[in-house]
Amino acid sequence: MLQPFISQYKAQQLGTYQTDEPLASYTTWKIGGSADLLIEPLGKEQLALTVKLLHEHQIPWMTIGRGSNLLVADTGFRGAVILLGTELDYVHFEESIVRAGGRYSLIKLSIMAGKKGLTGLEFAGGIPGTVGGAVYMNAGALGSDVSRIFESAEIVLETGELVRYSKEDMQFAYRHSVLHDVKGIVLEATFRLECGDRNQIATTMSANKEHRLRTQPLQTACAGSVFRNPSGDYAARLIQEAGLKGYRIGGAEVSTQHANFIVNTGQATASDVLTLIERIQQTIRDRFGVALVPEVLLVGER
Protein backbone atom coordinates (compact mmCIF):
# COMPACT_ATOMS: atom_id res chain seq x y z
CA MET A 1 0.00 0.00 0.00
CA LEU A 2 2.83 2.41 0.86
CA GLN A 3 5.21 1.70 -2.01
CA PRO A 4 3.17 3.32 -4.82
CA PHE A 5 2.82 6.44 -2.66
CA ILE A 6 6.52 6.49 -1.79
CA SER A 7 7.43 6.17 -5.46
CA GLN A 8 5.32 9.20 -6.37
CA TYR A 9 6.49 11.16 -3.33
CA LYS A 10 10.12 10.60 -4.35
CA ALA A 11 9.50 11.26 -8.05
CA GLN A 12 7.90 14.63 -7.28
CA GLN A 13 10.65 15.50 -4.77
CA LEU A 14 8.12 16.50 -2.12
CA GLY A 15 10.41 16.02 0.87
CA THR A 16 12.17 13.48 3.07
CA TYR A 17 10.79 10.24 4.48
CA GLN A 18 11.67 7.33 6.78
CA THR A 19 10.00 3.94 7.12
CA ASP A 20 9.23 2.04 10.33
CA GLU A 21 10.27 5.06 12.42
CA PRO A 22 9.91 4.90 16.27
CA LEU A 23 7.72 7.78 17.47
CA ALA A 24 8.76 7.91 21.13
CA SER A 25 11.45 10.49 20.43
CA TYR A 26 8.89 12.73 18.71
CA THR A 27 6.62 13.04 21.77
CA THR A 28 7.11 14.81 25.09
CA TRP A 29 5.95 11.67 26.94
CA LYS A 30 8.79 9.73 25.24
CA ILE A 31 6.37 6.88 24.61
CA GLY A 32 5.15 5.11 21.48
CA GLY A 33 5.74 2.46 18.84
CA SER A 34 6.76 2.97 15.23
CA ALA A 35 4.98 4.61 12.31
CA ASP A 36 4.93 2.80 9.00
CA LEU A 37 6.05 6.02 7.37
CA LEU A 38 7.35 9.35 8.68
CA ILE A 39 7.39 12.15 6.11
CA GLU A 40 8.49 15.79 6.16
CA PRO A 41 7.30 17.74 3.12
CA LEU A 42 9.48 20.69 2.11
CA GLY A 43 6.85 23.45 2.17
CA LYS A 44 3.20 24.41 1.80
CA GLU A 45 2.80 23.32 -1.81
CA GLN A 46 4.63 20.05 -1.20
CA LEU A 47 2.55 19.42 1.92
CA ALA A 48 -0.70 19.96 0.01
CA LEU A 49 0.44 17.57 -2.72
CA THR A 50 1.55 15.03 -0.10
CA VAL A 51 -1.85 15.08 1.62
CA LYS A 52 -3.58 14.76 -1.74
CA LEU A 53 -1.45 11.72 -2.62
CA LEU A 54 -2.13 10.10 0.75
CA HIS A 55 -5.85 10.64 0.19
CA GLU A 56 -5.70 9.15 -3.30
CA HIS A 57 -3.82 6.08 -2.03
CA GLN A 58 -6.21 5.80 0.96
CA ILE A 59 -3.33 5.83 3.44
CA PRO A 60 -4.26 6.87 7.00
CA TRP A 61 -2.24 9.84 8.20
CA MET A 62 -1.77 12.17 11.13
CA THR A 63 0.38 15.19 12.00
CA ILE A 64 2.89 15.64 14.80
CA GLY A 65 4.11 19.07 15.83
CA ARG A 66 6.17 19.10 19.01
CA GLY A 67 4.50 15.95 20.29
CA SER A 68 2.90 17.40 23.42
CA ASN A 69 -0.63 16.41 24.41
CA LEU A 70 -0.12 13.17 22.48
CA LEU A 71 0.01 9.50 23.50
CA VAL A 72 1.21 7.10 20.81
CA ALA A 73 0.15 3.49 21.31
CA ASP A 74 2.82 0.84 21.95
CA THR A 75 1.82 -0.72 18.62
CA GLY A 76 2.60 2.55 16.84
CA PHE A 77 0.67 4.02 13.93
CA ARG A 78 -0.31 2.12 10.80
CA GLY A 79 0.00 4.76 8.13
CA ALA A 80 1.91 7.99 7.57
CA VAL A 81 2.93 10.56 10.17
CA ILE A 82 3.53 14.05 8.79
CA LEU A 83 6.07 16.43 10.29
CA LEU A 84 5.72 20.07 9.29
CA GLY A 85 8.79 21.36 7.47
CA THR A 86 11.01 24.27 8.51
CA GLU A 87 9.31 26.50 5.91
CA LEU A 88 6.34 26.62 8.31
CA ASP A 89 8.51 27.69 11.27
CA TYR A 90 8.12 31.49 11.02
CA VAL A 91 6.38 34.54 12.46
CA HIS A 92 5.55 37.99 11.05
CA PHE A 93 4.32 40.99 13.06
CA GLU A 94 2.36 43.80 11.41
CA GLU A 95 1.38 46.21 14.17
CA SER A 96 -1.07 44.21 16.31
CA ILE A 97 -1.61 41.46 13.70
CA VAL A 98 0.55 38.33 14.01
CA ARG A 99 0.93 35.63 11.36
CA ALA A 100 2.71 32.45 12.41
CA GLY A 101 3.47 29.21 10.62
CA GLY A 102 1.92 25.99 11.86
CA ARG A 103 5.27 24.67 13.11
CA TYR A 104 6.16 27.79 15.11
CA SER A 105 6.50 27.34 18.88
CA LEU A 106 3.56 28.76 20.84
CA ILE A 107 5.82 29.59 23.80
CA LYS A 108 8.26 31.42 21.53
CA LEU A 109 5.35 33.29 19.95
CA SER A 110 4.12 34.51 23.34
CA ILE A 111 7.62 35.69 24.27
CA MET A 112 8.09 37.50 20.96
CA ALA A 113 4.71 39.22 21.30
CA GLY A 114 5.53 40.35 24.83
CA LYS A 115 8.84 41.86 23.73
CA LYS A 116 6.94 43.87 21.12
CA GLY A 117 4.54 45.16 23.73
CA LEU A 118 1.59 43.13 22.48
CA THR A 119 -0.79 41.61 25.00
CA GLY A 120 -3.14 38.65 24.60
CA LEU A 121 -0.72 35.73 24.44
CA GLU A 122 0.49 35.73 28.03
CA PHE A 123 -1.60 32.61 28.73
CA ALA A 124 0.42 30.65 26.15
CA GLY A 125 3.81 31.08 27.81
CA GLY A 126 3.74 27.58 29.26
CA ILE A 127 1.99 25.59 26.52
CA PRO A 128 4.69 23.44 24.88
CA GLY A 129 3.14 22.97 21.47
CA THR A 130 3.06 24.48 18.00
CA VAL A 131 0.77 27.16 16.63
CA GLY A 132 -0.96 24.54 14.49
CA GLY A 133 -1.56 22.22 17.42
CA ALA A 134 -2.79 25.11 19.57
CA VAL A 135 -5.37 26.10 16.96
CA TYR A 136 -6.45 22.47 16.52
CA MET A 137 -6.99 22.03 20.28
CA ASN A 138 -8.05 25.61 21.04
CA ALA A 139 -5.27 25.45 23.60
CA GLY A 140 -5.67 27.54 26.71
CA ALA A 141 -4.54 28.29 30.25
CA LEU A 142 -5.01 30.87 32.97
CA GLY A 143 -8.56 31.69 31.92
CA SER A 144 -7.84 32.37 28.25
CA ASP A 145 -7.43 30.39 25.03
CA VAL A 146 -6.60 30.63 21.34
CA SER A 147 -10.16 31.55 20.32
CA ARG A 148 -9.86 34.89 22.17
CA ILE A 149 -7.17 36.18 19.80
CA PHE A 150 -7.78 34.10 16.66
CA GLU A 151 -8.52 35.82 13.34
CA SER A 152 -8.12 33.16 10.64
CA ALA A 153 -6.07 30.17 9.53
CA GLU A 154 -4.78 28.78 6.26
CA ILE A 155 -5.54 25.06 6.22
CA VAL A 156 -4.92 22.18 3.87
CA LEU A 157 -7.80 19.70 3.91
CA GLU A 158 -7.32 15.95 3.49
CA THR A 159 -8.14 16.25 -0.22
CA GLY A 160 -5.19 18.62 -0.66
CA GLU A 161 -7.47 21.66 -1.04
CA LEU A 162 -6.17 24.90 0.49
CA VAL A 163 -8.78 26.91 2.41
CA ARG A 164 -8.88 29.83 4.83
CA TYR A 165 -11.10 29.46 7.88
CA SER A 166 -12.43 32.39 9.91
CA LYS A 167 -13.05 32.30 13.65
CA GLU A 168 -16.66 31.35 12.96
CA ASP A 169 -15.58 28.55 10.62
CA MET A 170 -13.35 27.08 13.35
CA GLN A 171 -16.32 26.44 15.69
CA PHE A 172 -14.13 26.81 18.77
CA ALA A 173 -15.24 25.30 22.06
CA TYR A 174 -13.38 24.15 25.17
CA ARG A 175 -10.29 22.30 23.84
CA HIS A 176 -12.09 21.78 20.56
CA SER A 177 -12.20 23.10 17.00
CA VAL A 178 -13.84 22.07 13.74
CA LEU A 179 -10.58 20.27 12.85
CA HIS A 180 -11.63 17.49 15.22
CA ASP A 181 -14.42 16.80 12.74
CA VAL A 182 -12.98 18.05 9.43
CA LYS A 183 -9.52 16.62 8.86
CA GLY A 184 -6.89 19.17 7.94
CA ILE A 185 -3.53 20.74 8.83
CA VAL A 186 -2.99 24.33 9.97
CA LEU A 187 -0.36 25.88 7.71
CA GLU A 188 -0.58 29.39 9.14
CA ALA A 189 -2.64 31.19 11.78
CA THR A 190 -3.37 34.90 12.11
CA PHE A 191 -3.96 36.42 15.54
CA ARG A 192 -5.08 39.89 16.61
CA LEU A 193 -3.40 41.17 19.76
CA GLU A 194 -3.60 44.51 21.59
CA CYS A 195 -0.96 47.06 22.46
CA GLY A 196 0.09 46.86 26.08
CA ASP A 197 2.81 47.84 28.49
CA ARG A 198 6.01 45.82 27.92
CA ASN A 199 6.97 45.91 31.58
CA GLN A 200 3.54 44.77 32.74
CA ILE A 201 3.46 41.98 30.17
CA ALA A 202 6.96 40.85 31.20
CA THR A 203 5.95 40.89 34.88
CA THR A 204 2.84 38.81 34.18
CA MET A 205 4.72 36.28 32.10
CA SER A 206 7.51 35.99 34.68
CA ALA A 207 4.98 35.37 37.45
CA ASN A 208 3.20 32.77 35.31
CA LYS A 209 6.51 31.02 34.60
CA GLU A 210 7.49 30.92 38.26
CA HIS A 211 4.08 29.46 39.13
CA ARG A 212 4.42 26.74 36.47
CA LEU A 213 7.92 25.80 37.59
CA ARG A 214 6.70 25.56 41.17
CA THR A 215 3.56 23.56 40.49
CA GLN A 216 4.15 21.51 37.32
CA PRO A 217 6.62 18.66 36.60
CA LEU A 218 8.17 20.43 33.62
CA GLN A 219 11.56 18.74 33.98
CA THR A 220 10.11 15.25 33.51
CA ALA A 221 8.64 13.43 30.49
CA CYS A 222 4.96 14.36 30.48
CA ALA A 223 2.32 15.68 28.10
CA GLY A 224 0.71 18.54 30.00
CA SER A 225 -2.74 18.27 31.53
CA VAL A 226 -4.22 14.82 31.01
CA PHE A 227 -7.89 15.62 31.66
CA ARG A 228 -10.18 18.47 30.75
CA ASN A 229 -11.47 20.45 33.69
CA PRO A 230 -15.09 19.52 34.46
CA SER A 231 -17.56 22.39 34.53
CA GLY A 232 -17.09 24.50 37.65
CA ASP A 233 -14.20 22.44 39.01
CA TYR A 234 -10.62 21.33 38.36
CA ALA A 235 -9.49 17.84 37.44
CA ALA A 236 -6.34 18.27 39.53
CA ARG A 237 -8.38 19.09 42.64
CA LEU A 238 -10.55 16.00 42.25
CA ILE A 239 -7.56 13.70 41.64
CA GLN A 240 -5.67 15.11 44.61
CA GLU A 241 -8.76 14.92 46.84
CA ALA A 242 -9.07 11.24 45.90
CA GLY A 243 -5.55 10.64 47.20
CA LEU A 244 -4.11 9.67 43.82
CA LYS A 245 -1.04 11.92 43.78
CA GLY A 246 1.96 9.62 43.40
CA TYR A 247 -0.23 6.65 42.37
CA ARG A 248 1.71 4.53 39.92
CA ILE A 249 1.12 1.81 37.34
CA GLY A 250 4.26 0.44 35.74
CA GLY A 251 6.40 3.39 34.78
CA ALA A 252 3.50 5.87 34.70
CA GLU A 253 2.85 7.98 37.79
CA VAL A 254 0.40 10.70 38.81
CA SER A 255 2.68 13.66 39.42
CA THR A 256 3.28 14.61 43.04
CA GLN A 257 3.55 18.23 41.90
CA HIS A 258 0.36 18.50 39.85
CA ALA A 259 -2.33 15.82 40.03
CA ASN A 260 -3.54 16.41 36.45
CA PHE A 261 -0.14 15.43 35.05
CA ILE A 262 1.02 11.86 34.44
CA VAL A 263 4.79 11.49 34.23
CA ASN A 264 6.94 8.86 32.59
CA THR A 265 9.32 7.82 35.35
CA GLY A 266 11.66 6.19 32.86
CA GLN A 267 10.23 3.05 31.28
CA ALA A 268 6.50 3.78 31.00
CA THR A 269 4.54 2.25 28.14
CA ALA A 270 1.41 3.63 26.52
CA SER A 271 -0.44 0.74 28.14
CA ASP A 272 0.77 1.90 31.58
CA VAL A 273 -0.51 5.42 30.92
CA LEU A 274 -3.86 4.26 29.53
CA THR A 275 -4.43 1.91 32.45
CA LEU A 276 -3.60 4.71 34.88
CA ILE A 277 -5.96 7.08 33.05
CA GLU A 278 -8.77 4.53 33.35
CA ARG A 279 -8.02 3.94 37.05
CA ILE A 280 -8.20 7.67 37.72
CA GLN A 281 -11.47 7.98 35.78
CA GLN A 282 -13.05 5.08 37.68
CA THR A 283 -11.92 6.43 41.06
CA ILE A 284 -13.24 9.94 40.37
CA ARG A 285 -16.51 8.54 39.02
CA ASP A 286 -17.00 6.36 42.11
CA ARG A 287 -15.92 9.04 44.57
CA PHE A 288 -17.47 12.20 43.14
CA GLY A 289 -19.82 11.09 40.36
CA VAL A 290 -17.78 13.08 37.85
CA ALA A 291 -16.72 11.75 34.43
CA LEU A 292 -13.24 13.02 33.60
CA VAL A 293 -12.63 13.43 29.87
CA PRO A 294 -9.06 13.03 28.61
CA GLU A 295 -7.49 16.06 26.98
CA VAL A 296 -4.58 14.11 25.51
CA LEU A 297 -4.98 12.49 22.10
CA LEU A 298 -4.46 8.74 21.65
CA VAL A 299 -2.80 7.74 18.40
CA GLY A 300 -2.88 4.15 17.13
CA GLU A 301 -4.62 1.03 18.36
CA ARG A 302 -4.27 -0.08 21.96
The answer to whether 263 and 253 are in contact (CB under 8 A) is yes
Amino acid at 296: V
The answer to whether 31 and 72 are in contact (CB under 8 A) is yes
Rounded Cα distance between 251 and 263, Å, is: 8
- For residue 253, list its beta bridge partners: 248, 263
Amino acid at 136: Y
The answer to whether 65 and 158 are in contact (CB under 8 A) is no
Handedness of CA 164, 88, 37, 16 (dihedral sign): positive
Amino acid at 257: Q
Instruction: Give one word for 79, left, alpha or beta, with left for phi > 0 and alpha for psi -120 to 50.
Output: left
Q: In what order do the strands lie in the sheet with 184-192?
A: 91-94, 97-101, 184-192, 150-157, 162-166
Rounded Cα distance between 159 and 61, Å, is: 12
Handedness of CA 14, 55, 175, 76 (dihedral sign): negative
Catalytic residues, by residue number, are 175, 225, 295
- For residue 113, list its beta bridge partners: none
Interhelix angle 198-215/106-115, rounded to 10 degrees, is 150
DSSP conformation class of 179: G
Rounded Cα distance between 119 and 169, Å, is: 24
